[in-house]
Amino acid sequence: MANILSREKQIAVIGALAEGSSIRSIERLTGVHGDTIGRLAVRVGKACARIMDEKMHGLNCDKIQMDEIWGFVGKKQANLRPGDAAKGLGDVWTWVAVDADTRLVPCYRVGKRDSYNAKCFVGDLATRVNGRVQISTDALAAYDDAIERGFGTNADYGQIVKTYTSSELGARRYSPPEIVHIKRQVISGSPDFKSISTSYVERQNLTMRMHMRRLTRLTNAFSKKLENFEAAVALHFAYYNFVRIHKSLRMTPAMAAGVSQTVWSIADLVDAAA
C-alpha cells in the first residue's frame, strides 16, 4: 500500500478519519478508493493499539473515571441470526478509563458489557497505574468484583447512581431521559466524596461519537467487521492522547501525564504503521 498511496495522501486520509469524517466523504474529497481507505485505517489502527499498549505504563493517575459506550457491528443485537454472534456481529461496548486530572485515557477495551470484560478491563488498568487510585464508576454491578480483583485494597472506590424518569411504554426515544436524582456512594476504601464523579469520562463518550463516524447515532455509518471497529477505536484514542491538543489543558493529555514531551502529528501515527 505504501507504494501505491503516497505518504501525504495517507496522512490526509487518517487525519480526516480521526476528525470524524466518513469513509465515503473522504473518498469523495481525496479521490482515494473506499476499500483502500478501509485497509489503511485497519493498518494504522493496529499500530495505534500497539502505541497505546507500549506507552501507557507507570502512570501516576490519582482519580480514574470509568464508563462504557455502546455501538454495534454489522447489525444490532435484536436482529442477530444463528451464527452471527460467532462472526463478531451485534452489540459491542467500549470500556473507557479517563484520568480526571490530565484527561488521559490510560486504557480501553472493546467487548461485551459483561463481568468477564469488566475484569479484563480493570485488570489491565491496574497494571498501568502506580500507587493508590480513586476510582469512580456508574452503578454497573460488574465493576464491584472487577475492581476488587484488579486493585485489591489499593483503590478507593465510589459510585454515581443516577435515577431517571421512566419513558412512555413503547415510545421510541432518541434522547436520554431526564435525570431526577444523583446519589454518590462509597463502595470500598476512603474516596474523596466530592470527587466521586463520571463527568469527564461521559464527556469522553461524546468526544468518541463526534470523532468516530461509526459511533454517530441514527446514521448508516456503522462497522461491518469487528476488526474495523477495533482499529477505529485504537486510532481515536491514540489521536486523542498524543495528537489532539486539549482545549482546557493547552497540551495533549499525554503531555499533561508526562507520557510524551511533544505534540505528535498524524504523520507519526502513519509512520508507526509503515
* Residue 51 host element (H or E): helix 34-55
Residue 59 maps to a domain: yes
CATH number at residue 116: 3.30.420.10
Residue ranges making up the domain that contains 165: 7-272
Residue 2 maps to a domain: no
Chain segment 67-117, per-residue pLDDT in tens: 999 999 988 888 889 988 888 889 999 999 999 999 999 999 999 999 999
Query: For 135, which DSSP code?
Result: E
DSSP 225-260: SHHHHHHHHHHHHHIIIIISPBTTTTB-HHHHTTS-
Pairing of strands 155-164, 179-188: antiparallel
Residue 205 maps to a domain: yes
Residue 250 maps to a domain: yes
Alpha-carbon Rg of the chain, whole angstroms? 19
Residue 204 maps to a domain: yes
Total number of domains in the chain: 1
pLDDT reading at 195 higher than 70: yes
Residue 17 maps to a domain: yes
Question: Rounded mean pLDDT of 165-189?
Answer: 73
Tell the burial category of 240 from Cβ atoms under 10 Å away from its Cβ (0-12, 13-18, 19+).
Answer: buried
With cut-offs at 50, 70 and 90, classify the pLDDT of residue 45: very high
With cut-offs at 50, 70 and 90, classify the pLDDT of residue 1: very low
Tell the burial category of 254 from Cβ atoms under 10 Å away from its Cβ (0-12, 13-18, 19+).
Answer: buried
pLDDT score at 178:
78
- Residues 264 and 242: beta-carbon distance below 8 Å: yes
Residue 1 maps to a domain: no
> Which pTM was predicted?
0.91
Residue 111 maps to a domain: yes
Cell triple for residue 126?
491496574
Helix (H, G, I), strand (E, B) or coil at 100: coil
With cut-offs at 50, 70 and 90, classify the pLDDT of residue 222: confident
pLDDT score at 207:
93
Worst-scoring range by mean pLDDT, 59-63, 85-89, 137-141? 85-89
Tell me, what amino acid is at 203? Answer: R
pLDDT score at 40:
96
pLDDT score at 223:
86
pLDDT score at 2:
46
Question: Rounded mean pLDDT of 37-57?
Answer: 96
Q: What percent of the chain has pLDDT over 90?
A: 78
Q: How far apart are CA 22 and CA 39, in angstroms?
A: 14
pLDDT score at 20:
92
Average pLDDT, the chain: 91
pLDDT score at 166:
67
